[in-house]
Amino acid sequence: MLNLVLFGPPGAGKGTQSAHLIEKYQLVHLSTGDILRSEVAAQTALGLEAKKLMDAGTLVPDAVVIGMISSKIDANPKAKGFIFDGFPRTIAQAEALDTLLQQKETAISMMLALEVDNEELTKRLLLRGKDSGRPDDSNEEIIKNRINEYNTKTAPLKSYYTGQGKFSAVPGIGSIETIFASLANAIDAITV
């Protein structure tokens, strides 16, 4: 199986690149942000609880997202592989993911990091907020909090996957096609 973790701060382009990667490599796309947003839209108990944190740009508890990912992995027994987008976001989530995949006799193949500087990220997120209507993209303070959450809780995952020899970084600035070509090169380097 090809199991990819797409890594990068909010606004790095993970969603856009995921769409291209699933098509080329026939992977199942699991985005915890998308799953949470559909829970919010359906007004489930989980969605109502998560909404407050999401609107503030704060991470929801590990147990919530780990449970969601676990059931999505179970729901796709025939998948050729998964692309994890916006998950894991903490070391505890990464450890839980390793355990879940081990139970399926598979593992993360690599973490692909999209690197974009903070100034460009804020610019992109404010622009996206105008179109997407996402409450967490529309306010500079909330965006700052999301980037701060990323730097304190998520950035340490770089060392986690480097320690496993699975970290690969790609510049996240340039055209969608150029960035995609760099990601595909990195993947093909481990699969051929």
- Residue ranges that bind ligand AMP, judged by CB under 6 A: 10, 32-33, 36, 53-54, 57-60, 65, 86-87, 89, 93, 136, 146
The helix/strand/coil state of 28 is: strand
Q: How far is the CB of 188 from ligand AMP (least distance, A)?
A: 26
Q: How far is the CB of 189 from ligand AMP (least distance, A)?
A: 26
Nearer residue to ligand AMP within complex by CB, 57 or 129: 57
Helices 14-25 & 176-191, crossing angle to 10 degrees? 50
Q: Which two tokens stand for residue 135?
A: 């409450």
Q: Closest-CB residue for ligand AMP?
A: 33
- Give the H/E segment covering residue 114: strand 110-115
Nearer residue to ligand AMP within complex by CB, 53 or 184: 53
Nearer residue to ligand AMP within complex by CB, 82 or 136: 136
- Decide: 82 and 4 in contact? Cβ < 8 Å: yes
Which amino acid makes up residue 54? M
Q: How far is the CB of 103 from ligand AMP (least distance, A)?
A: 19
How far, in Å, CA of 187 to CA of 144, rounded? 31
Q: How far is the CB of 60 from ligand AMP (least distance, A)?
A: 4
Nearer residue to ligand AMP within complex by CB, 89 or 124: 89
Nearer residue to ligand AMP within complex by CB, 1 or 46: 46
Say if residue 111 is exposed, middle or buried (CB neighbours under 10 Å; 0-12, 13-18, 19+).
Answer: buried
Q: How far is the CB of 76 from ligand AMP (least distance, A)?
A: 18
How far, in Å, CA of 107 to CA of 104, rounded? 8
